[in-house]
Structure 1
Amino acid sequence: MSDVAIRLTGIKKHYNAGKPNEIQVLRGAELSVGRGEVVALVAPSGAGKSTLLHIAGLLDTPDAGKVEIAGEDLTGRSDRARTNARRSQIGFVYQFHHLLPEFTAAENIILPQLAAGISRKEAEARAQELLDKVGVGKRADHRPGALSGGEQQRVAFCRALANGPGLLLADEPTGNLDPATSDQVFEALIALARDTGLAALIATHNMELAARMDRTVRLQDGVLV
């Protein structure tokens, strides 16, 4: 297995190609994140960090450049191949938790495991283990509407890690939380990353949180510095 969880090489992306209002978002962005490394992605609004994360997570395709996940070049692969890679190798966390409201916290973590072919018994044990690690194990049977914002986001982290991905991509995961709760949720995220040895690329506006990660990269004029 490659020691590099993700490598982006020469990533370019533009919108409205050939039109007067063409927007060049990414101009050859390059980044490598190693296994067990937690990297902060910092950029002002509109600079293209969500676009970069979508390309890194195989949700969007670059106009040019290469995306390698765990040493495998997935650029230009079929939709099915990219979907399979997302399911097995990548976890996503967004600013809003996007939990399914009709299911409990545990069920939200169990469902993606069942979709991956894991047995119900194993999925239940995995869900409880993850919830315990982030301090909300006693809330496993509660639906999202009965959880606090911080608890909801911690459950979202657990769901992202349910299938044991090697890479976690997070887009402003504490952006909707107050400072105290944000700090608690961030600590839970970092603890999960350290415990599982996964790589994490976390977009944030919070420079205090960014400073607590292994390193910070800034998206500026379409490239990473």
Structure 2
Amino acid sequence: MSDVLSLEAIEKSYNKGKPGEIRVLRGINLAIPRGQVVALVAPSGAGKSTLLHIAGLLDTPDSGRVVLNGEDLSRASDRRRTEARRNELGFVYQFHHLLPEFTAEENVVLPQLANGVSRGAALARARALLARVGLSERCGHRPSAMSGGEQQRVAFCRALANGPSLLLADEPTGNLDPGTSDTVFGVLMDLVRETGLSALIATHNLDLAARMDRVVRLDAGVLSEAAR
């Protein structure tokens, strides 16, 4: 089974070479095979967002390699990194970041149009994804007319709109109440399993982490495999 993502000896510091330099990531190694869902658990301020940004090609490491689907993209051009983010990666955050002036359907259509998909095909995929998460009757609603859990489900659909091979999620249910969080997380896991996605999901919720295939822990810049 080949790896969708491989992080190799990733180092990252802020104020590098200056007084007060902060080493955030210290020799991080992580491989995520196809179809595997990995929980990333870390205390606040431990660098999990930095790690996700590097894995998602939104930031570059000081040293080390980021290999996505067999291609080393650590020092790739901005154009190639943008293309990889658009085609191969899906992102979900704690806050949904939906475009408020557009409907649920339109929020899922737009990234597809930006990727050159025809409007008809984009609309069909958006409706199919929204139906899968139980939002068929909310397609025409704007975010302000939807609950927090519904908005986050739309965000999941948007992240999957372009058929990525890897989903990166930063506390995707952290802004929801416990009951809604559990339900919405279940929807996310069903989507991931059905599409054969790999995923790296940061969470503080150990119960949710236990539902994933592996748990890794980031502490003081060091990544380790957590006991199950």
TM-score, with structure 2 as normaliser:
0.97
Moved more, 133-142 or 100-109: 133-142
Distance 1:3 1:39 in 2: 15
Distance 2:156 2:136 in 1: 13
Distance 1:21 1:137 in 2: 52
The RMSD of aligned alpha carbons is 0.8
- Match of residue 212 from structure 1: 211
Kindly indicate whether residue 156 of structure 2 is the aligned counterpart of residue 139 of structure 1: no
- Match of residue 196 from structure 2: 197
For 1:162-212, what per-residue CA distance to the aligned partner results, in whole angstroms no more than 9, with x for missing partners? Answer: 000000000000000000000011001000000100101000000000001
- Match of residue 6 from structure 1: 5
SS in 2 for 1:176: coil
1:45-124 → structure 2 map (5 Å cutoff):
45-124=44-123
**Runs ≥4 residues deviating over 6 A:** none
**Shift of residue 3, structure 1, vs aligned partner:** 2.3
Distance 2:13 2:134 in 1: 42
One-letter identity of the residue aligned with 2:179 = A
Tell me the matched-pair count: 224
Kindly indicate whether residue 180 of structure 2 is the aligned counterpart of residue 181 of structure 1: yes
SS in 2 for 1:155: helix
SS in 1 for 2:168: strand
Distance 2:2 2:178 in 1: 34
Distance 2:70 2:38 in 1: 18
Distance 1:112 1:5 in 2: 22
SS in 1 for 2:112: helix
Distance 1:187 1:34 in 2: 21
One-letter identity of the residue aligned with 1:72 = E
- Match of residue 23 from structure 2: 24
SS in 2 for 1:68: strand
Distance 1:102 1:112 in 2: 15
**Shift of residue 57, structure 1, vs aligned partner:** 0.1
Distance 2:208 2:48 in 1: 17
Distance 2:34 2:189 in 1: 14
One-letter identity of the residue aligned with 1:21 = G
**Shift of residue 221, structure 1, vs aligned partner:** 2.2
Distance 2:2 2:117 in 1: 26
Structure 1 contact 43–219 (Cα < 8 Å) conserved: yes
**Shift of residue 223, structure 1, vs aligned partner:** 1.9
SS in 2 for 1:213: coil
Structure 1 contact 41–219 (Cα < 8 Å) conserved: yes
Distance 1:190 1:120 in 2: 28
**Shift of residue 220, structure 1, vs aligned partner:** 1.8
TM-score, with structure 1 as normaliser:
0.98
Distance 1:145 1:28 in 2: 43
Structure 1 contact 30–223 (Cα < 8 Å) conserved: no
